[in-house]
Chains A and B, each alone.
Chain A
Amino acid sequence: MQTDLSVVNVIKKFQDFTAVDSVSFDVEKGRFFSILGPSGCGKTTLLRMISGFFEPTGGTIEIKGKNMAGIPPNKRPVNLIFQNLALFPMMNVGQNIAFGLERQNEKRSVIKRKTGKMLERVGLPGFENKKVDQLSGGQKQRVAIARSLILDPTVLLLDEPLGALDLKLREQMKIELKTLQTQVGTTFVYITHDQSEALVMSDHVAVMNEGKFEQVDTPRNLYAKPLTPFVARFVGENNQWSAKITGIEDTQDERVAMIKTPEGNVFKTIFRENLNTGDDIDLFLRPESLLLEPDPSIETLNRFNIIVKSILFDGANSRILALLPESDREIQISLPQTRQFDHIQPGDKIESGWSPESGITFPREKVVP
């Protein structure tokens, strides 16, 4: 597989502040690659270095094997979709899309044909003479994408383009973007702080925090096997629980730890990190891996009692907010809307359980005083 974009040890410093700290990654041709991180983590800076608006302080950026150092944005085979889309309000839709081709001195007939074709591709046939302010949010989105894709860039960079849309439209555009990307086969590099956008659309996701990549993996692996506590907290919901290892059992294919929480619960969990008896750990449990009123016949489950504090109804994403007895530790548990749990009321004392396979453990993070 050909590598379209290769970023090696890229550093960007603004005076004393390091915005991007030795980031390296490769994106293969035709892939949808996302960079996911909270705002201020350096993802936009990284994108602007790839597009050429910032020059890296260190490291190299290669596009199709060609070093991009010193090449200005208008000479790079990449295009950027801006967060606010930056459509030119002084031009109509057709002129917006033709802008890049005109800069390449294409023949007028060719420009006209290509513009029409591109508008058809993004589902806006015959929109050439519309004004930009006559378009809806989703249509503007498509025009912005068409304006960049018409130049046939090696890599298309997208800077949170769905941020300004309302929820329903955002869900729809997610699917449309992914479909479009598969059709045109252009390499996409997408940055976002919205994990659902990254997980739904991407082939690979890099989770970024404080200028560094925490993990680069497939969406499924990020969710199921986070490599750092940050990824565990940032991707999806998680209950964090501190505990101490009281014993380790090695079986043939996995290592199982006996752990004890400050509240006195004793659990079994598998672990991947290098841990020893007596270590303090952080245990992460996803709300959906906590079962409500589990069948007593399942023997391997870790079981504990909870007191329902409140029910957070949110359709398919509903939760129970629960407390451990005689403790103020809060736990979120998924509440499947299958009518099976309709009888649960705030104040009820019920049993919950989780299987040792679903535990995610990390050595306790050193708290900075």
Chain B
Amino acid sequence: MKSGIRWGLVIFITPVLVWLTVLILLPQVDMFIMSIRAENELGEMGFSLANFKLFFLEPIYWRTFARTAIFSILVTFLTFLITMPIAFYITKVVSPKFQGFLSVLILMPFWVSELVRVYGWMILLRESGVINHFLIKFGLLNKPIEMLYNDATMITGLVYTSMLFMLVPLLSVLESLDNSLIEAAYDLGGSVWSIAVRIVIPHCLPGIVSGSIVVFMLTLGNYLTPNLMGGKNGLWFTEQIYNQFIASFNWNQGSAFGFLLLILSSAIIWLGLKLTKQRLGKVVQ
């Protein structure tokens, strides 16, 4: 009987293990091995930490990384600021009849691919785009201005892409917030601000942190949006990795950058969890 239970376990866990090993673990191990190999003076491949060293020695690389990380944090924060009131409105203000409808409305843009959504933004914002057309038509502008290819546009695009991933965990934590807590705080003299800071946000913290982790990771690893909407002089770190693999054909350097991205982003998330006093296990539930 005992071995029967074990067989069941084996059958259920095998696909997961195969998945993790073949698709996640092996490529990562391969990447790691590649990253610690470089050509020596004689042009022979061997063990070396030169790939990692280059990242810290060449300012463009670590500055690109810092820029990417800072912008990702900014995007996460902006996404939270925009999504929180929306989530509160959907769960607590609007009548239950419309809750599902509004959630679907938010979900809808995510049925089309990110590429199409980004092109949607480009059609709106480019020099000969919809917004410029109307601004000129109503006499607000003399000649069209280029609204694409700058940091502000890129951040707009990234926030738009990330909203759903913040909204879903916020909806579920807000759903579990007892309305009477808000009413009790209001009854005891709380203002909108103090209720938000003392009651709503502390209650929602696990959802905020888990949404933030997802949004931060997706933004940091995003390639499409920064590439299409960002300016030429504003690099994203994923573009550096892409350049190493495809343009310079230096797979060893690219692997090292890929690994650095993984380590540094994990470190930032660890720091975020420490600062908000949350535990990863609780947050991902």
Contact surface of A with B, Cβ cutoff 8 Å: 51-53, 72-75, 79-80, 82-84, 86, 88-91, 99-100, 103-104, 147-148, 151
On chain A, the residues within 8 Å of B191 by CB distance are 74, 103
Query: Separation in Å of the B227 CB from the closest CB of chain A?
Result: 42
Main secondary structure on A side of the interface with B: loop
Given contacts A99-B198, A103-B194, contact A86 B189 (CB under 8 A): no
Contact with A along B178-220 (1 / 0, CB 8 A): 1011011111111100100011001100000000000000000
The CA of A52 and the CA of B184, in the complex, are separated in Å by: 12
Whether A100 touches B189, Cβ cut-off 8 Å, given contacts A86-B178, A90-B202, A90-B203, is yes
Q: Which residues of A contact B183 (CB under 8 A)?
A: 53, 73, 80, 82, 86
Q: Which residues of B lie under 8 Å from residue A75 when comparing CB positions?
A: 189
Q: Are B180 and A74 in contact, with the CB atoms below 8 A?
A: no
- Complex: A99 Cα to B194 Cα, angstroms: 10
Q: Check A82 against B184 for contact (C-beta < 8 Å).
A: yes
Inter-chain CA distance A106–B16, complex, in Å, is: 57
Counting chain A CB atoms within 10 Å of each CB, the highest count among B184, B185, B191, B199 belongs to B184
CB distance from B11 to the nearest CB of A (A): 40
Q: A53-B183, A86-B183, A88-B185 are in contact. Are A99 and B178 (CB under 8 A)?
A: no
Mark out the residues of chain B between 28 and 57 whose CB falls within 8 Å of any chain A CB in the assembled complex: none
Q: How distant is the Cα of A151 from the Cα of B185 in the complex, in angstroms?
A: 13
Given known contacts A79-B187, A80-B187, A103-B191, A86 and B198 CB-to-CB distance under 8 angstroms: no
CB–CB A103/B188 < 8 A: yes
4 closest A-B pairs (Cβ-Cβ)?
A: A86-B184, A103-B189, A100-B188, A90-B202
Chain B: which residue is nearest A76 at the CB level?
Answer: B187
Contact of A74 among B181, B187, B202, B203 (CB under 8 A): B187
Q: In the complex, which residues of chain B have a beta carbon less than 8 angstroms from the beta carbon of A91?
A: 198
List of B residues within 8 angstroms of A52 by Cβ: 187
How would you classify the secondary structure of chain B's contact residues: helix, strand, loop or mixed?
helix
Q: Judging by beta carbons under 8 Å apart, are A151 and B188 in contact? A: yes
- Which residues of A lie under 8 Å from residue B178 when comparing CB positions? 84, 86
| In-complex Cβ contact of A151 among B180, B189, B194, B203 (8 A) | B189
Query: Interface size on B (CB < 8 Å)?
Result: 17
Q: 6 A–B contact pairs at CB < 8 A? A: A73-B187, A79-B188, A82-B180, A82-B184, A86-B181, A103-B190
Contact pick for B190, options A80, A99, A148, CB 8 Å? A99
Apart from A73-B186, A90-B199, what are 12 other A-B pairs with CB-CB below 8 Å?
Answer: A72-B186, A73-B183, A73-B187, A74-B186, A74-B191, A75-B189, A79-B187, A86-B181, A88-B198, A90-B203, A99-B190, A148-B188
Q: Which residues of A contact B180 (CB under 8 A)?
A: 82-84, 86
Complex CA–CA separation, A89 to B187 (angstroms): 17
Residues of B within 8 A of A148 (CB): 188
Q: Which residues of A contact B185 (CB under 8 A)?
A: 88, 99
Give, as a whole number of angstroms, the nearest-CB distance from A144 to chain B.
9
CA distance A148 to B186 in the complex (A): 12
Which B residues are in CB contact (< 8 Å) with A79? 187-188
Indicate if the CB atoms of A104 and B189 lie closer than 8 Å.
yes
In the complex, what residues of B have CB within 8 A of residue A104's CB? 189
Nearest CB on A from B96, distance (A): 16
Question: B265 → chain A, closest Cβ, in Å?
Answer: 29
Interface centre among A72, A75, A103, A104 (most CB of B within 10 A): A103
Given contacts A90-B202, A99-B198, A103-B194, whether A74 and B184 have CB atoms under 8 Å apart is no
A205 to chain B, nearest CB (A): 24
Whole-angstrom distance between the alpha carbons of A84 and B181 in the complex?
Answer: 10
Kindly report which residue of chain B lies nearest to residue A148, judged by CB atoms.
B188
Complex Cα–Cα for A51 and B199 (A): 20
Contacts of B181 in A (CB 8 A): 86, 88
CB distance from B278 to the nearest CB of A (A): 13
Interface centre among A79, A86, A148 (most CB of B within 10 A): A86
Which of B183, B186, B188, B189 gathers the greatest number of chain A CB atoms within 10 Å?
A: B188
Closest residue on chain B to residue A99 by CB atoms: B188
Q: How many Å from the CB of A18 to the closest CB on chain B?
A: 21
Q: How far is the CA of A344 from the CA of B199 in the complex (A)?
A: 61
Residues of B within 8 A of A99 (CB): 185, 188, 190, 198
What is the distance, in angstroms, from A105's C-beta to the closest C-beta of chain B? 10
Q: How far is the CA of A264 from the CA of B184 in the complex (A)?
A: 59
Q: Taking CB as reference atom, which chain A residue is nearest B195? A: A74
- Bound-complex Cα distance A154 to B194 (A): 23
Contacts of B184 in A (CB 8 A): 80, 82, 86, 88
